[in-house]
Amino acid sequence: MFERIQFMIKKIRLTLAEMVLPDRFYVQEKLFPMYCGKIYPDFVGDTRIFNYRSDKIIRDSNRWLIIRMLMDRVVACNSGEYAELGTHQGRTARLIFKNMSDNAKLYCFDTFRGFDAKDVAVESLRSSFKVKAGDYGNTDEASVVRYITAGDSRDRLVICKGFFPDTAKGLEAVKWRFVHLDCDLAAPTEAGLHFFWKNLQPGGIILIHDFFGGFSEGIQGSFKEFSAETGCVAVPMCDGGGSAVIRKPW
């Protein structure tokens, strides 16, 4: 209860701050000269394309940076596809699509109807964080495709619409090099960890969002079981969503 009140106060403070502070307060600009300005000059471009106020991805510029840096690491895999489990309106998918290797595809897995009732039932047993079936249902496949490809050809984008892991059927032979798990809930996270890890290329990376955030109870519970089986260790990242990373040994 106390945590919930603290969370609400934080939200009110942020909303009030957004009304009066200029946009530049929303991006951690100190990153500009050190990394983004030199290594990733397109960061500045992206801050213009994406909307500071409504787009949490660009506002959490550490997250942007982490995705870019990890994607650079998996170039060395030479082959393997990219995947995102939990695409919603396509914000992180757009970033991945824009920066992935030329010879690869991005597979986006989402119900495009929000959380499924089956996953929500599991969540209520594994976590005290309250969620509802249909949360994140404010999306539709066609506009997400347009958003992700941003006018480019959609040949390299594969939309896997529906309930995961059902939508993974038929993809058992696909090799992966970079996977973004951003589905919030324990059940699809667990299924995703097992499915993608199996065919992750040596040197390939799985980035798990919300590992230390509001959904951490469910996600870490799933990870514990996966870790006991595989020996994988999750390394924390310093973004706003409390992400963590695992990598397949070479």
Ligand X SMILES: C[S@@+](CC[C@H](N)C(=O)[O-])C[C@H]1O[C@@H](n2cnc3c(N)ncnc32)[C@H](O)[C@@H]1O
Binding-site ranges for ligand X (CB under 6 A): 57, 86-89, 91-92, 109-111, 114-116, 119, 136, 163-164, 182-185, 188
Instruction: Tell me the C-alpha distance between 127 and 202, whole Å.
Output: 33
Instruction: Tell me the C-alpha distance between 17 and 5, whole Å.
Output: 18
Copy the structure tokens of residue 83: 């995947």
- The CA-to-CA distance between both ends of the chain, in Å, stands at 45
Cβ distance to ligand X smaller for residue 203 or 240: 240
Q: How far is the CB of 231 from ligand X (least distance, A)?
A: 26
Give DSSP secondary structure letters for 154-192: STTEEEEESSTTGGGTT-TT--EEEEEE---SHHHHHHH
Cβ distance to ligand X smaller for residue 219 or 234: 219
Q: How far is the CB of 9 from ligand X (least distance, A)?
A: 23
Q: How far is the CB of 91 from ligand X (least distance, A)?
A: 3
- Using Cβ positions, the residue closest to ligand X within the complex turns out to be 86
For 1, the 3-state DSSP assignment is coil
Q: How far is the CB of 101 from ligand X (least distance, A)?
A: 20
The DSSP bridge pattern shows strands 235-236 and 244-247 to be antiparallel
Copy the structure tokens of residue 45: 């471009």
Q: Are 184 and 85 in contact (CB under 8 A)?
A: no
Cβ distance to ligand X smaller for residue 195 or 197: 195
Cβ distance to ligand X smaller for residue 78 or 124: 124
Q: How far is the CB of 215 from ligand X (least distance, A)?
A: 9
Q: Which residue in 42, 48, 141, 47 sits closest to 98, CA to CA? A: 42
The alpha carbon of 120 is separated from its chain's Cα centroid by a whole number of angstroms, namely: 19
Cβ distance to ligand X smaller for residue 137 or 203: 137
Q: How far is the CB of 136 from ligand X (least distance, A)?
A: 4
Cβ distance to ligand X smaller for residue 208 or 234: 208
Q: Which residues pair with 110 in a beta bridge?
A: 161
Q: How far is the CB of 86 from ligand X (least distance, A)?
A: 3
Distances (CA, A) of 72 to 89, 111, 171: 24, 29, 25
- CB contact set of 125 (below 8 Å; sequence gap of 6+): none
Cβ distance to ligand X smaller for residue 88 or 247: 88
